[in-house]
Structure 1
Amino acid sequence: MVVDHPERSRYELPLEREIAIAVYRDSGNVRAITHTEVPYALRGKGIGGQLVAGVLDDIRAKGMKVVPRCPFVARYIAEHPDYADLLS
């Protein structure tokens, strides 16, 4: 489950012994996702997609918009148009 840690301005997805993260900056009602990171050994296993989906679901639940500054997030939204309404 993806968890928002606003004190660190990042989301975390706890994994076996590590975490995947998505770093953000807020400006009013807009959340810019600036960086995502999945542990190297777990790349290519869908973890990044799971992370980004959880982040975008949280942004939607909070009534916010998103600016995908991270290329992975931008590509994810392009491939999942059901999240396009969140774009600022």
Structure 2
Amino acid sequence: MTEALPEIQTEDTGSKGRYFLRGPAGAEAEMTFSKAGDQMIIIDHTEVPDAFRGQGAGLRLVTRAVEDARAAGKKIIPLCPFANAQFRRHPEWADVLKS
């Protein structure tokens, strides 16, 4: 049985922000983004430490950004190689992908 991951938290500093999971011993998996105007975010970095490897933490972070963007009517530019790969694997996210 896989141990449940902690809840995804967010931080928003105005022009930038991040989604993150805080785990045991202070380990954090995070996905950072920048805002490009009011209707677009740029996912620029995803980092998953060893404490979270193999648990789907990175995918959960990107999925949460997609859900939030969809709810807010925003588009995403996935500059981060990991996020970009996830968008290629999930064609159902095309509605939030900035083309």
Q: Do Structure 1 and Structure 2 share a fold, with TM-score over 0.5? A: yes
Larger RCO (CA under 8 A, 6+ residues apart) = 1
2:46 counterpart letter in structure 1: T
- The residue number in structure 2 matching 1:12 is 20
- The residue number in structure 1 matching 2:93 is 83
Bigger drift between 4-13 and 31-40 goes to 4-13
Identity %, equivalent residues: 36
SS in 2 for 1:72: helix
Unaligned runs of 5+ in 1: none
RMSD: 1.5
Alpha-carbon offset, residue 2 of structure 1:
2.3
Aligned residues: 88
User: Which of 60, 69, 90 is 1:59 aligned to?
Assistant: 69
Unaligned runs of 5+ in 2: 1-6
- The residue number in structure 2 matching 1:70 is 80
SS in 1 for 2:67: helix
Distance in 2 (alpha carbons) for counterparts of 1:55 and 1:13: 13
- The residue number in structure 2 matching 1:32 is 42
SS in 2 for 1:22: strand
TM-score normalised by structure 1 residue count: 0.87
Contact 2:23 2:51 in 1 (8 A): no
TM-score normalised by structure 2 residue count: 0.78
